[in-house]
Chains A and B, each alone.
With several copies, the nearest count.
Chain A
């Protein structure tokens, strides 16, 4: 029933601190520059050295969007990699390992790394050998090494290139039996190699973000590190806050003064921001928070993945107010939806969220250079010299949106209040005003709905089997649907990249036209299925869930589906 898949998967395994991520990143870059598609799955432990980490690269000439773990090429930096991943090897697979390790029963290439690379260049030797085995262009690898090290000491660059040549010569001679990748053509526009977190940071920058605040927390930290890396170039302020409460309040302060702001965190840190989210809503201050989910409750599995915080993000903050939640399905969407989140947050003058997870955060992909959507400048209402005096920050209007000025930018005074307030922003206990202000804030739902992104439908119309999913599950679910399809079994996927607010008309007809409907989520309780039921009354009884800390894969989905299907 399951179709054979044409991609190849490379796994690099080893201890934290052995440099496996460097090897992985360089190999990714080589693949992307060579014209291949990639999907990366990184798995690491909550420690700095030791333990066992791995870096899976699934690559293909054709577009590929889902992770896979059945491995063709295993680069084992330690013995544990063989015991952990040996069973995942495909029949024609090859294990590349140091001469001193034991390949057990596997077809192996034992590499004299010590001789080839001395003490600090293992990564270059491994890259070179992997590149050669996969059939990548040698000069492309050489150029990649030059590009990577040209900023360092010239001597270092040369040592690297020397290792490259030694390793290349060695592997040519060793010439193990291994079928490389089919050739790809690097034509078309150059592509970027980016993971989800980098794409979020770049999406924020593209949207015109002007400030960023955070407290470090895996797996969100690299969003802010990417942001900071480019802050000087883009003229953006940032600060590492003393805690998450400070981070969200700093962002609100900056945004209030006209510097759109990005905050990034994960579940536990997000929990501390709940009061601030309510503040943004009440003061009508734009605020974008990227939440990179990891398995909870509490500290949980800090370096693994889950889609367990959807309902929490949807309902966080006391009191009632609208919000928008985007859930990117891939790296492109991390970019485009972050941009969108800023746009909608500025327009609606309230909170918007980008909900991602460790899998997507760390998953590199090859993407086309972004078309920056030319959003109307975020600060459109900043100058309003003709605003009537006295300026009323919360003037009641038919659509609930009041003209927004920034303090210090005109002679108008801007007054914002976390208490219930009058139109001019002052604290009030007038209960008839209270009622109007509640209605004003809730009216913004109409704007959010009018700008919503409907779910994307892929596959056969009137499917026998329809999978429903959201966020990072996209690639895995779509591939599963594809692999499940037979001439007599129509399959399709409905993916939500915006999970709130929802307009049932967008998707009810599709769901109702399907035979079996199965929701697929990376959590234990089927949170999104619950939301759909609340909003539509539709009961999604068939659910595929995963909550062991690993990302959904096509094979996981297909084997879970088989069980559901039997029961049915």
Chain B
């Protein structure tokens, strides 16, 4: 049995009042709820305010490059299928710099969990529009307002048949904890897009704004129906559904590629000379 204490507590570099704090708490609680020991979990993050999160709990950590947490997580999971691999980063990291990996990870369906702290802004670089910033969002880099439509990660993931697609809110800790638990438990790629207030740079989507606009999905909602899920995922900002939006039972990468991605891959077996001779025999 792991406990919250196992996951420790650290000083952070976040602004007072930031939504990151409750996300961190929810993550820790979820790990305990899933009964995972710190050394069985690997967090992979990118660069940004969100990406610092794994430094603030006890676990294995690979804090890599901006935008590249998913490929590192993918390589790690292939190398060691026993690890619970969680990629955790910001909206800029995952949908901006890392957009291509987001698409590929969904298609590939490797058993990793992606937690996106979605504050709709580039926090660490001081407030430029991110892919999820609202159209018209004004910043020093977008003085005439953000000209692009915001990216809707849950809708795109749903249309691409991602295995598990959820949206959470930093202000709904227990609910969020449960979503993260379910995401970790899901076999295959799972996305939790977490609505996160940024008190320093996002004056539009504040705690109270989210509190007004978020609605939990009803118990009766069926996340296995893709058509219905799309309707929900595409709902406009006035009614931002939170919960498990879509899920399916697509086989994960591992199940499909057993031949090549089995546990044999894991790097600790001794070298097998006989097999190597078999390989060489192709070339006589």
Contacts and interface: CB of A to CB of B under 8 A. Distances in A.
Does a CB–CB distance below 8 Å link A and B in the complex? yes
Contacts of A215: 96-97
A416 B40 contact: no
Given A48-B126, A413-B59, A249 B72 contact: yes
Contacts of B213: none
B71 A233 contact: no
A257 B267 CA distance: 8
A257 B80 contact: yes
Interface string B209-233: 0000000000000000000000000
Interface of A: 17, 33, 45-51, 190-194, 198, 202, 205-206, 208, 210-211, 213, 215-218, 221, 224-225, 228-243, 245-247, 249-261, 268, 275-276, 279, 283, 298-299, 302, 369-370, 372, 377-379, 382, 406-419, 425-427
A410 B268 CA distance: 13
Contacts of A276: 65, 68
Given A242-B100, A418-B47, A427-B52, A48 B200 contact: yes
Contacts of B21: none
Nearest to B278: A233
Contacts of A369: 280
A247 to B, nearest CB: 8
A47 B60 contact: no
A452 B21 CA distance: 49
B67 to A, nearest CB: 7
A408 B13 contact: no
Nearest to A46: B124
Given A193-B283, A211-B75, A246-B71, A235 B52 contact: no
A499 to B, nearest CB: 27
Contacts of B267: 208, 210, 257-260, 378-379, 382, 406
Interface in B17-54: 37-40, 42, 44, 47, 49, 52
Interface in B226-284: 259-262, 264-273, 275-276, 278-280, 282-284
Interface string B106-144: 001000000000000011111011010000000011111
Contacts of B156: none
25 contacts: A45-B13, A48-B49, A210-B265, A215-B96, A218-B125, A221-B128, A234-B275, A235-B269, A235-B275, A237-B79, A240-B129, A242-B103, A246-B101, A250-B78, A252-B72, A257-B267, A258-B80, A258-B266, A276-B68, A298-B64, A377-B270, A406-B80, A413-B39, A413-B60, A413-B61
Q: A218, A406, A427: which has the most chain B beta carbons within 10 Å?
A: A406
B100 A249 contact: no
Contacts of B72: 249-250, 252-253, 256
Nearest to B49: A48
B260 A259 contact: no
Contact of A249 (B64, B103, B265, B269): B64
Contacts of A229: 140, 143, 282
Given A46-B13, A258-B79, A243 B268 contact: no
Contacts of A412: 39
Given A240-B141, A413-B58, A408 B82 contact: yes
Contacts of A241: 71, 104
A408 B272 contact: no
A243 B63 CA distance: 19
Nearest to A242: B104
B184 interface: no
A254 B79 contact: yes
Interface of B: 13-16, 37-40, 42, 44, 47, 49, 52, 55, 58-68, 70-80, 82-83, 96-97, 99-101, 103-104, 108, 122-126, 128-129, 131, 140-144, 200-201, 259-262, 264-273, 275-276, 278-280, 282-284
A252 B52 contact: no
A215 B141 CA distance: 10
Contact of A256 (B76, B99, B129, B282): B76
A218 to B, nearest CB: 6
Contact of B141 (A47, A224, A417): A224
A249 B44 CA distance: 11
A246 B80 contact: no
Contacts of A49: 14-16, 200
Nearest to A194: B283
Given A228-B143, A413-B38, A254 B78 contact: yes
Q: B38, B61, B70, B72: which has the most chain A beta carbons within 10 Å?
A: B72
Contacts of B278: 233
Contacts of B273: 372
A416 B43 CA distance: 10
Contact of A216 (B70, B141, B272, B283): B141
Contacts of A231: 260
Contacts of B271: 208, 372, 377
B75 A213 contact: yes
Nearest to B284: A190
Contacts of A258: 79-80, 266-268
Q: A49, A224, A237, A242: which has the most chain B beta carbons within 10 Å?
A: A242
B141 A210 contact: no
B67 A243 contact: yes
B203 to A, nearest CB: 14
Contacts of A409: 268
Contacts of A379: 267-268
Given A48-B49, A415-B55, A426-B55, 20 more contacts: A46-B124, A47-B124, A192-B283, A205-B276, A208-B271, A210-B79, A210-B266, A233-B278, A237-B79, A243-B99, A243-B100, A245-B68, A246-B70, A253-B79, A283-B64, A377-B270, A413-B58, A414-B60, A418-B65, A419-B47
B261 A427 contact: no
A46 B12 CA distance: 12
Given A190-B284, A237-B78, A249-B75, A256 B62 contact: yes
Q: B39, B63, B65: which has the most chain A beta carbons within 10 Å?
A: B65
Contact of A408 (B60, B74, B284): B60
Q: A51, A191, A217, A417: which has the most chain B beta carbons within 10 Å?
A: A417
Contacts of B58: 413
A208 B264 CA distance: 12
A415 B39 contact: no
A369 B279 CA distance: 12
B64 A243 contact: no
